[in-house]
Amino acid sequence: MGGSLPINDSYMENNMRKSTLPQWGIRVLFYCIALFFMALGVAFSANSDLGISPVNSLPYVISDIVKMQPGTCVTIVFCFYILVQVILLRKEFNPINLTQIIFSTIFGYFVNFTKWMVGDFLLPGGYIGRLGMQCIGIVLVAFGVFLYLDVELVPMPMEGMTMAIAKKVGKPFPQVKTVVDCTVVLLGVILTVVCLHLIPFRDPGVRIREGTILAALVTGKVIEIIRKPLSPIVKKICFGESK
């Protein structure tokens, strides 16, 4: 859940493709596995102390402020994103996208679980080790995002909100995604300074640092690298496609 994700404007219209019952089950299973890998990537990034990805930066900053489990804050913030979709789209909002609440709750649980699972694990080597943790986190998140996109169920809440905004303002998804990501990060920076009295990119323990920028810049590229060899396999399993 890094920077500009490779989602096209028709994704929301195509996210409920027809499948056999077993294929539906596999798609839901793969979606949940994707959420687990994304959460695991978040845990590695958090341990690196080099910054959380843009999507998760705001929930993590809020968790530091209110002293609440990160996963709980992720669920709350993501539910707010769903509410924004409902307000913007009104009658155009597809009720099936309310399942984002379920998947957001599952993702929030996975965030807490993987945080516990990873614990205080850190690669040796000082800053190089922390950078290695960040890179592992980026790859894990990229794999999770690739998988959840390719099974074509429902978008995660932030992408769903971005799609709703793009539809209302008549702008391409990638352009709106960049603005939304920057806005979320900026809000996280403001809350960090005002509420935590910490300076992003400088003070230790700050959630928004160089790793946040790195994730924003390279996650989309890593997704494309992963997608090229693995997408045909996922499509074959989930939809019976031969290509």
Q: Residue 9 pLDDT more than 50?
A: no
Q: Each residue of 188-197: pLDDT tens digit?
A: 999 999 999 9
Q: Each residue of 31-65: pLDDT tens digit?
A: 999 999 999 999 999 888 888 888 888 999 999 99
Residues 82, 235, 74: CA angle, nearest 5 degrees? 25
Q: Has residue 131 been placed in a domain?
A: yes
Spell out the residues 6+ positions from residue 190 whose beta carbon is closer than 8 angstroms to its own.
none
Given pLDDT bands bounded at 50, 70 and 90, which one contains residue 221? Answer: confident
Q: What is the pLDDT of residue 242?
A: 62
Query: Range of 124's domain?
Result: 19-239
Better-predicted residue by pLDDT, 16 or 111 = 111
Please state the rounded mean pLDDT for residues 68-89: 94
Q: Has residue 180 been placed in a domain?
A: yes
Q: Each residue of 152-176: pLDDT tens digit?
A: 888 889 888 988 999 999 988 778 8
Q: What is the pLDDT of residue 134?
A: 93
Q: Residue 235 pLDDT more than 50?
A: yes
Q: Has residue 149 been placed in a domain?
A: yes
Q: Has residue 3 been placed in a domain?
A: no
Backbone angles phi, psi at 208, to 5 degrees: -110, 110
- Give the predicted TM-score (pTM) of the model: 0.84
* Token output for 159: 């992408």
Q: Each residue of 82-135: pLDDT tens digit?
A: 999 999 999 999 898 899 999 999 999 999 999 999 888 877 678 888 899 999
Q: Has residue 207 been placed in a domain?
A: yes
Q: Residue 136 pLDDT more than 90?
A: yes
* Token output for 144: 């999770």
Lowest mean pLDDT among 13-17, 131-135, 137-141: 13-17
Q: Has residue 155 been placed in a domain?
A: yes
Whether residue 195 contacts residue 65, with contact meaning beta carbons closer than 8 Å, is answered with yes
Residues 174, 199, 181: CA angle, nearest 5 degrees? 10
> At which residue do the structure tokens 């994707």 appear?
34
Q: Has residue 6 been placed in a domain?
A: no
Q: Residue 7 pLDDT more than 70?
A: no
Q: What is the pLDDT of residue 36?
A: 97
User: Which among 214, 234, 215, 77 has a CA at the least distance from the CA of 156?
Assistant: 77
Please provide the size of the chain in residues. 243
Q: Has residue 4 been placed in a domain?
A: no
Cα gap 174→7, rounded to integer Å: 8
Q: What is the pLDDT of residue 16?
A: 57
Q: Residue 19 pLDDT more than 70?
A: yes
Cα gap 181→157, rounded to integer Å: 13
- Which of 191-202 are b and which e, b meaning 16 or more Cβ less than 10 Å from the residue's Cβ? bbeeebebebee
Segment (H or E) for 239: helix 210-239
Total domains in the chain come to: 1
Q: What is the pLDDT of residue 15?
A: 55
Whether residue 207 contacts residue 53, with contact meaning beta carbons closer than 8 Å, is answered with no
